[in-house]
């Protein structure tokens, strides 16, 4: 949550969170942090000034579901099939820095832990990604 607030401040983004104080994962803490950081960085980079980011987490059927959503232009449908490929960028250039590795890295790390990352929704108002990871007993 702290990283989202720090990254969002320069663009005056509102950050909302619905994250329980305690959700146990069967995953490496550092790698989960990297997954979340990559997704939050994208939510900031592809947002609009004064926009919104929403973080949520909950237990669902033996897994932990983490969603990260943001306002912004959205991802055109013709690009969604390539979204998780290394070095693929929907929008690049000087305005949006990066190398096209964030989403592919996040997905690879999640899959290495028995989970996944997927695009849930993207339209002209809202883009949302979901991370599923195994819940610890």
Q: How far is CA 40 from the centre of its chain?
A: 5
Going by the DSSP 8-state scheme, the letter that residue 105 receives in this structure is H
Nearest to 103 by CA among 46, 29, 49: 46
- The 3-state DSSP class for residue 39 equals helix
Nearest to 91 by CA among 133, 127, 63: 127
Torsion sign, CA atoms 37, 43, 49, 53: negative
Tens-digit pLDDT profile for residues 30-85: 999 999 999 999 999 889 889 999 999 999 999 999 999 999 888 989 988 889 99
Tens-digit pLDDT profile for residues 93-133: 545 666 678 899 999 999 999 999 999 999 999 999 999 99
Give the pLDDT score at 27.
94
Q: Which domains, ranges and CATH numbers included, belong to the chain? A: 2-134 (3.30.565.10)
Tens-digit pLDDT profile for residues 80-103: 888 999 987 876 554 566 667 889
pTM for the whole structure: 0.88
Within a 10 A sphere around the Cβ of 120, how many other Cβ atoms?
12
């Amino acid at each position: 949550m702290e990283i989202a607030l720090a990254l969002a401040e320069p663009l005056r983004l509102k950050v909302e969170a619905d994250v329980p104080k305690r959700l146990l994962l069967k995953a490496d803490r550092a790698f989960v942090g990297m997954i979340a950081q990559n997704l939050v960085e994208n939510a900031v980079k592809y947002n609009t000034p004064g926009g919104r980011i929403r973080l949520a987490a909950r237990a669902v059927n033996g897994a932990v579901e983490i969603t990260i959503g943001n306002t912004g232009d959205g991802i055109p449908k013709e690009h969604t099939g390539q979204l998780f490929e290394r070095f693929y960028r929907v929008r690049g250039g000087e305005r949006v820095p990066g190398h096209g590795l964030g989403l592919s890295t996040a997905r690879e790390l999640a899959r290495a832990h028995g989970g996944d990352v997927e695009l849930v929704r993207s339209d002209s108002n809202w883009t949302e990604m979901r991370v599923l990871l195994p819940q610890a007993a």
